[in-house]
Amino acid sequence: MAELMAAIRRDFPAPRRWLYFPGLLWLHAGDRWLRALPWLGLAAALTIVAGGPHTPLAFFLCWALYLSLDRAVVLVYPWDSLLLEAGFWAMFLPALAWAPAVAATGAPTPALAWVFRLLLFRVMFGFGKQKFAGSTRADAGF
């Protein structure tokens, strides 16, 4: 990973490389950091499960960590992009109540509710399209 980040650093100027290859791997691309990213994601996910007023921040951390890993290992399946988008929109959801209550502290805005409906429609339509369109020899590697 360090070699890839060094090549990107060499080939792209500073603002462009951050735009094309966003993520936390710019902080450090060593093996320890790569091993720490999933553990940080687990801690952020457990924070979301526990609830409290800091859940939007934990959603942001989960999204940033997943984005970093997506750019690092080039996840190619359609649901990877959908997970990134759902994680992005989840940051704008109202905070969750503490774990025993298992409820939201407020309703999401109507616009955000429609964004999630549109996302669900795209998932269903996309997988249905793939089912009827089938795959080609070019898709054999995936």
Question: Per residue in 25-70, pLDDT tens?
Answer: 888 878 888 889 999 999 999 999 998 889 999 999 999 999 888 8
List CB contacts of 113: < 8 A, sequence separation 6 or more.
Answer: none
- The whole-chain average pLDDT of the chain stands at 84
- Side-chain-facing half-sphere of 69: CA atoms under 13 Å: 18
* 18-34 per-position pLDDT tens digit: 888 888 888 887 888 88
**Confidence (pTM):** 0.76
More confident residue, 2 or 62: 62
Cα dist from 62 to 72, 89, 121, 140, whole Å: 15, 12, 23, 31
**Residue 58 and residue 40 in contact, taking contact as beta carbons nearer than 8 Å:** no
Other C-beta atoms within 10 Å of 41: how many?
19
pLDDT at 136: 67
Task: Check: CB of residue 11 under 8 Å from CB of residue 56.
Answer: no
- What DSSP assignment string belongs to 73-99? HT--SHHHHHHHHHHHHHTTSPPBPPT
Return the pLDDT at 141: 53
